[in-house]
Chain A
Amino acid sequence: DTAVSQTPKYLVTQMGNDKSIKCEQNLGHDTMYWYKQDSKKFLKIMFSYNNKELIINETVPNRFSPKSPDKAHLNLHINSLELGDSAVYFCASSQEVRGNTQYFGPGTRLTVL
């Protein structure tokens, strides 16, 4: 009974390719997030959706496009991949109760060659 799941866990691809990462949560949460964690382990917010509506959109290249088909899913599509996109991408979800604790997915390690 995984709470927040992501696929794939590992993704190795060539520069210039287009790839997608999928995220699903079965916690009934209203809000979902995408984070990028770089090689220095710094976790930075990219996007947040609340009930399928985009509420946070950080300064992220427009090659990154999130899509939320319903409140349990938040996918991330990346066009024209670059070397600097190599990182671990974490999906997370939270609910508007007691401090909005976030629950993280297992992460997708993206390596761009």
Chain B
Amino acid sequence: GQNIDQPTEMTATEGAIVQINCTYQTSGFNGLFWYQQHAGEAPTFLSYNVLDGLEEKGRFSSFLSRSKGYSYLLLKELQMKDSASYLCAVRDAGTYKYIFGTGTRLKVLA
């Protein structure tokens, strides 16, 4: 089957580091994506992993382990504006569908 799991909610403090985990099960794998979605807005692309390892982009990094079906999104030097939902999505190689997790709602506190 196809399944993506993420924590529902996380809370962190401004200036801190937070790691949002994502585990997945799909019939085929063709890339993992992280999106940020602020309340009432569209999802916006953050990162993409298709090979194992870490991809760094400014304050955001994303890690992938295909053998473990696991990814995380690391946010450093948290800012209030980082309060949003973070969606993990996997592209299924067999169906070419993007399967989204339910998202992790991150609250950054002052």
State which of A45, A48, A56, A90 has its C-beta within 8 Å of the C-beta of B43. Answer: A90
Tell me whether B95 and A99 are in contact (CB under 8 A): no
Q: Are the CB atoms of A105 and B42 closer together than 8 Å? A: yes
Digitize A16-49: 1 where CB-to-B-CB distance is under 8 Å, 0 elsewhere.
Answer: 0000000000000000010000001111110010
Q: Give min CB distance, A67 to chain B, whole Å.
A: 20
Q: A99-B50, A102-B98 are in contact. Are A90 and B45 (CB under 8 A)?
A: no
Task: State which of B33, B42, B97 has its C-beta within 8 Å of the C-beta of A101.
Answer: B33
Take A56-B96, A56-B97 as given contacts and tell me if A104 and B43 are in contact as well, using a CB distance cutoff of 8 Å: yes
- A80 contact set on B, CB distance < 8 A: none
Q: A residues 81-99 with Cβ under 8 Å of B?
A: 90, 98-99
Which residues from A are CB-within-8-Å of B95?
A: 56
Q: Count the A residues whose beta carbon is within 8 Å of the partner chain — how many?
A: 22
**Most interface-central of B37, B42, B48, B97 (chain A CB within 10 A):** B42
Q: Does residue B100 face the partner (Cβ distance < 8 Å to A)?
A: yes
Q: Is A64 part of the contact surface with B, judged by Cβ < 8 Å?
A: no
B interface size (C-beta, 8 A): 24
Residues on the A chain within 8 Å of B41, using CB: 106-107
What residues on B are CB-neighbors of A102 within 8 Å?
Answer: 33, 45, 98
Residues of chain A with a CB closer than 8 A to B102's CB: 40-42
A110 to chain B, nearest CB (A): 14
Assuming the contacts A43-B87, A104-B44, A106-B41, asked whether A99 and B33 have C-beta atoms less than 8 A apart, the reply is: yes
**Residue on A with the closest CB to B39?**
A41
Does B85 sit at the interface, judged by CB under 8 A?
yes
Q: Which residue of A lies closest to B42 (CB)?
A: A104
Please name 18 pairs of A and B residues whose Cβ atoms are closer than 8 Å in the assembled complex, sorted by A.
A33-B98, A41-B85, A42-B102, A42-B103, A43-B43, A43-B89, A43-B103, A48-B97, A56-B95, A56-B96, A56-B97, A90-B42, A98-B48, A101-B45, A101-B48, A102-B98, A104-B43, A107-B42
Chain A residues in the interface with B (C-beta under 8 A): 33, 40-45, 48, 55-56, 58, 90, 98-107
